Amino acid sequence: MTNKRRKRRTAGEMATLRGEIKAVLAEDNPQTDRSIFYRLVSRGAVPKTDEAYKGTVVRLLSEMRLDGTIPWGWIVDGTRVQRKPDTSSSMAEAMERFQEGYRRDMWRSKPDYVQIWCEKDACVGVLMEETWAFDVPLMSCRGFSSLTFLHDAAEEITRQGKDTYLYYFGDHDPSGRAIDKNVEARLREFAPTADIEFQRVAVTLEQIETLHLPTRPTKTTDSRAKGFKGESVEMDAIEPKELRRIVRGCISRHLRQEEVDANERTEQLERETLAAYSKGFAALGGEA
């Protein structure tokens, strides 16, 4: 019987792989560990196997952050968050923090209401760079969303009273293709009077072909696999910069750059006014 144990990488080969990982992240960050794995697969640095992902890439990413080779902020993990009230040591500090974080609503006079929906928590940190900059809600499904989450989202859509445009990012696999259909159906059910346009913008069949996205075998254990054709493709297979470009393209359909620039100028002036108030308050003894 032939022994087919995988050949271990030499110290030199591991050093080369660490260099590949650092180069991938230096070129585009932050990324999910799954996204980095797909970049390495496309470069031929690792095979497209679960063993290479979990046993090599994830392990090296942990080691490289712990030893300082790559910054912690280059890897995103949206699945674990801290929940704590936002507190200040004084009124003056609270006013200063409010001034620094002040954002002017650039959508107040727009006829459209836009949301970006994402199937995976882990990819939120990749998309948020764009949604945060343009003051657009980023909704994380975390797989099949709870009825409460979808009902709350539908209530907000109804409250806005605008033409609503929802752009969805999710995996191309049996469950992934079912999640967005469930989201759309429930939102229409819970917000029956709203004018909703729902569009899956990633992953699409066209993107799989034109971007030459790496695939993985479709899980036959998935109860929704019947009738699903071809292999599966994860959202992480799309390069982060391309995902952000898609987000930016969706938002720019509803918001012109000159509107963004004008809003930023007004916001800066108002922030300076708030700063003056904050200094005046502190001078009057607001630190007490």
User: Could you give the number of structural domains in the chain?
Assistant: 3
| 229 and 127 both lie in a single domain | yes
45: CB partners within 8 A, 6+ apart: 17, 20
| 127 and 171 both lie in a single domain | yes
* Residue 280 banded pLDDT, cuts 50, 70, 90: confident
pTM assigned to the model: 0.81
Q: Give the single-character DSSP code of 192.
A: T
Q: Is position 162 within any domain?
A: yes
State the alpha helices, DSSP H only, in 161-256.
Answer: 174-190, 205-210, 240-252
Q: Is position 54 within any domain?
A: yes
The residue-averaged pLDDT of 7-14 equals 88
Segments forming the whole domain that contains residue 125? 112-254
Q: In the predicted model, is pLDDT for residue 117 greater than 80? A: yes
Q: Is position 6 within any domain?
A: no
| 99 and 202 both lie in a single domain | no
| 93 and 37 both lie in a single domain | no
Task: Report the CATH number that the domain containing residue 184 is assigned in CATH.
Answer: 3.40.1360.10
Q: At what angle do helices 11-27 and 58-66 cross, to 10 degrees?
A: 80
Tokens of 151: 């009902």
In this predicted model, which residue has the larger pLDDT, 281 or 205? Answer: 205
State the average pLDDT for the chain. Answer: 90
| 118 and 240 both lie in a single domain | yes
Is there a contact between 88 and 97 (Cβ–Cβ < 8 Å)? Answer: yes
pLDDT in tens, 38-63: 999 999 999 999 999 999 999 999 99
| 135 and 222 both lie in a single domain | yes
Q: Is position 183 within any domain?
A: yes
* Calpha distance 70→26 (Å, rounded): 9
| 127 and 43 both lie in a single domain | no
Q: Is position 158 within any domain?
A: yes
| 250 and 211 both lie in a single domain | yes
| 205 and 117 both lie in a single domain | yes
Residue-level pLDDT at 1: 44
Q: Is position 7 within any domain?
A: no
| 248 and 228 both lie in a single domain | yes
